[in-house]
Amino acid sequence: MNINWLRTFVAAATYENFREASEKLFLAQPTVTVHIQQLEKSIESKLFIKSGRRVVLSEAGRQYLPHAKRMLEQHEQSLQHMTGWKQGYHRKLTIAVSPLIAATVLPYVLQQFMKHHPSIEVVVKVSESNDIGEMIAKNEADFGLSRMKAVHPHLINEKIGGDPIVLVVPHDGGDSETSLPLSLNDFCHSSTLLTHNHPGYWDDLLIELRSRQEGIRTMVVSQVHITKRFIEEGLGFSFLPRSSVQRELFEGRMLEVETGDMRLPEVYTYMVFHHLTEEATIFKEFIEKYMH
């Protein structure tokens, strides 16, 4: 069985047109026809019937299509495995990670992990925190790093790495010695609060803020990295995990403002898993040492 025949068959079944399939596969149209004929001869079944200028799957074609797709998928997986083996990988670990963790904690952790475990191939799938539990449950990833607990009943959540929330505002262009001190009250009355960019703390925080300040103007911005960009451009202020703004604070692109007697929450990273593979166990132990 020629793998190219299968690839051509799946494309032709998708577009129901040999010409379109040939364009997508960068093949001459007669080649597509030959591939289909060779495959039909191999399985002793007619795969397509003509319908005007198009072709549609026969009943045999409909029966065979899912098998062809599985064979193609297995072929691709075998190629990926061999590529990894040639590169020195002998094992594989797929981790699902929230965007914030992927942009802050993960780069250094991965660098050190890959240095200590060069034979493990790491695949990173960046997903929103509320999707990570489902990915673990469906075995689409071996291990998850999320900023919220997974609600799936069969998954385990372990909390690590406390991260304090801080109030950050645009830099005012002044310096710490001559500028007047900034206050939360000033920004609540003169600027827009950018909210709900991180799971877990915004609802309670807004209740407390509104009990202290009247008429706060808010804007929902669903991503931390977009919130940071808006703050740098002077569009508002926000409460964000310290790990997410360390570089901006160090480089003077934002300022941290004290909140007086108002206590701010702390957020955590959650390790999400079900049945740990050997590779996931190694990674879990590694990240626990780093985050604690």
pLDDT digits (tens, 9 = 90+) for 249-286: 999 899 999 988 888 999 999 999 998 988 999 999 99
Which alpha helices (DSSP H) does 171-241 contain, by range? Answer: 184-190, 202-212, 224-232
Half-sphere exposure for 35 (CA within 13 Å, toward CB): 22
Residue 96: per-residue pLDDT? 95
Measure the CA–CA gap between 164 and 240, rounded to whole angstroms. Answer: 8
Q: Percent of the chain at pLDDT above 70?
A: 93
pLDDT band at 180 (very low <50, low <70, confident <90, very high): low
pLDDT over 90 (residue 227):
yes
Ranges of CATH 3.40.190.290 domains, the chain:
163-265
Average pLDDT over every residue of 180-207: 87
- Average confidence (pLDDT) over 157-185: 79
Contact assessment for residue 219 and residue 195, using Cβ atoms and an 8 Å cutoff: yes
For residue 176, the 8-state DSSP code is: T
The CATH number that domain 163-265 falls under is 3.40.190.290
Read off the pLDDT of residues 94-150 as tens digits, 9 standing for 90 and up: 999 999 899 888 898 899 998 888 888 889 999 988 899 999 999 999 999 999 888
How does the average pLDDT of the chain come out, rounded? 88
Residue carrying the six token digits 């149209």: 29
pLDDT at 53 over 90: no
- Residues 118-134: b if buried by 16+ CB within 10 A, e if exposed: eebbbeeeebebebbbb
Chain centroid to CA 122: 14
Residue ranges, CATH 3.40.190.10, the chain: 91-160+268-291
Distance of alpha carbon 52 from alpha carbon 231, whole angstroms: 59
Q: What topology does CATH give the domain 91-160+268-291? A: D-Maltodextrin-Binding Protein; domain 2 (3.40.190)
CATH code for 3-86? 1.10.10.10
| Confidence at residue 176, expressed as pLDDT on a 0 to 100 scale | 54
Instruction: Give tens-digit pLDDT for 61-101.
Output: 999 999 999 898 888 877 776 776 666 556 889 999 999 89
The alpha carbon dihedral of 175, 181, 184, 188 has a sign of negative
Residue 130 has what pLDDT? 87
Q: What phi-psi label fits residue 268: left (phi over 0), alpha (psi between -120 and 50 degrees) or beta?
A: beta
CA dist 243 and 213 (Å) reads 27
Secondary structure letter of residue 63 according to DSSP: H
Buried b (16+ CB within 10 A) or exposed e, 244-265: bbeebeeeeebbebebeeeeee
- Partners of 157 in the beta sheet? 272
Phi, psi of 243 (to 5 degrees): -60, -30
Residues of the chain with CATH 1.10.10.10: 3-86
State mean pLDDT over 230-257: 92
Query: In this prediction, what percent of the chain has a pLDDT beyond 90?
Result: 45
